Structure 1
């Protein structure tokens, strides 16, 4: 049984995951993210968190809000700059004594949704976008992850997409659902032209309000809300770890 840890700016959440069911195998634990969230400080929290599950001994997956290539973190937009260049797989494996695999947070959510959630059983190109402080993205083709797409950083009409279309932009500019849906239409039409996907999934906390804005997005591709919500990161991280470990 794999273990998933969702590392965020305010909280670190973890639980063992039943990969047959795609759900927590025990109640999730949350620990506040340290003010100085360096990789070394976070490693100490991971040791504490895993210590609360003495019966768990499988591989550990960890989400990181940044680009991750072969276990090395290459960007740190919303976390401590010392993460850049850190071999997080090695650091966390040595700190915890467990096999640890790190994955981008949106990629983890996409894996979970395609295996267990709204896109379970769907073939072709599925694109998850998480609409939050920024826009995270995940591309999966026939269930296989194409990592680190970072499509919130596309430049559209002279603007970085997430600065105009993320949920934080809706709140900042006090946009109605209709006006925000207009910005989202521009964003998703750009993705349509570039990738011709079979399905869009909308994740992030605002996905619970999808009925308010989703039908107003004027695109040709099917677009639906993600369903795993706050479970997606932990479940997807555990799934990533298990597959990386060859389980």
Structure 2
């Protein structure tokens, strides 16, 4: 394939997904391949599965870029945390492990950062010139901050302390499900989270992703904010697309990497 294509791989707690991405269209160029995440999701075991996905697309990919998302803080290829994956990812040289296992150059990025970059590149915030904050409401709350098209990595706004609580312990979508909250009961928790983010960062646009964004009409109209807030558009494609975009950007500007 041409340089207009890159491989994005999205590592989650239950599945590892990959697809070739058309960087011009901002969408999948192939069918997505999904393989179950190993029960013991150590870096070595996950890298072996990622290798299967790379092998599947190798002929079409050629020497194209590879981006891999992980549910962790990632600084210079090292994962500093672990969410829904094995604890051995904490302080792990993940990018080096993947490179040694696959024998290829690649880049490892935070999953929410990848989703945010995709939404700014081709989704709900496409072409937005200001400060965009993308949040993903799921098991926890992921976040991505993009200012004038440039990612500020590892924002981790779900870990803000609000009213004595870690924000995601009160406002993540999983909490609504676990506590069987109605939308009327859940909205005040989202209101408190988003008004705090708004006060701290004065964004120009807020984008809400995660599976719950499919029901945005149930809660977004009831939030009272100065900042426009809209649902994400790319849904579960965002991680793969963003990983591919960040892989190419990092290849082009290696000194400006995360």
Interval of TM-score (by shorter of Structure 1 and Structure 2): over 0.9
Match of 2:241 among 226, 235, 246: 235
Alignment pair present for 1:168 and 2:205:
no
Alignment pair present for 1:101 and 2:107:
yes
User: Cα deviation per residue 1:60-105 (whole Å; 9 max; x = unaligned)?
Assistant: 1011101000111000132111111221221111211221100000
Alignment pair present for 1:210 and 2:211:
no
CA distance in 1, matches of 2:131, 2:222: 23
- Tell me, what secondary structure is at the counterpart of 1:55? helix
Q: Which runs of 5+ in 1 are unaligned?
A: none
Instruction: Work out whether residues 59 and 98 of structure 1, in 8 Å CA contact, stay in contact via their aligned partners in 2.
Output: no
Q: Which position in structure 1 is the counterpart of 2:43?
A: 39
Q: Which position in structure 2 is the counterpart of 1:13?
A: 17
Q: Which position in structure 2 is the counterpart of 1:2?
A: 6
1:95-174 paired onto structure 2 within 5 Å: 95-174=101-180
Residue 55 of structure 1: how far off its partner (Å): 2.0
Q: Which position in structure 2 is the counterpart of 1:60?
A: 66
Instruction: Work out whether residues 199 and 221 of structure 1, in 8 Å CA contact, stay in contact via their aligned partners in 2.
Output: yes
The TM-score normalised by the length of structure 1 is 0.98
Q: Which position in structure 1 is the counterpart of 2:29?
A: 25
Q: Which position in structure 2 is the counterpart of 1:86?
A: 92
- Tell me, what secondary structure is at the counterpart of 2:125? coil
Instruction: Work out whether residues 134 and 167 of structure 1, in 8 Å CA contact, stay in contact via their aligned partners in 2.
Output: yes
CA distance in 2, matches of 1:107, 1:97: 25
CA distance in 2, matches of 1:198, 1:206: 22
Residue 26 of structure 1: how far off its partner (Å): 0.8
Q: Which position in structure 1 is the counterpart of 2:202?
A: 196
CA distance in 2, matches of 1:199, 1:225: 11
More divergent stretch after superposition (5-14 vs 90-99): 90-99
User: Cα deviation per residue 1:152-195 (whole Å; 9 max; x = unaligned)?
Assistant: 00110011100111111111221111221111111111011100
How large is the RMSD of aligned CA atoms in angstroms? 1.0
4+ residue runs over 2 A deviation? none
More divergent stretch after superposition (90-99 vs 161-170): 90-99
CA distance in 1, matches of 2:65, 2:100: 13
CA distance in 1, matches of 2:147, 2:45: 36
Residue 56 of structure 1: how far off its partner (Å): 1.1
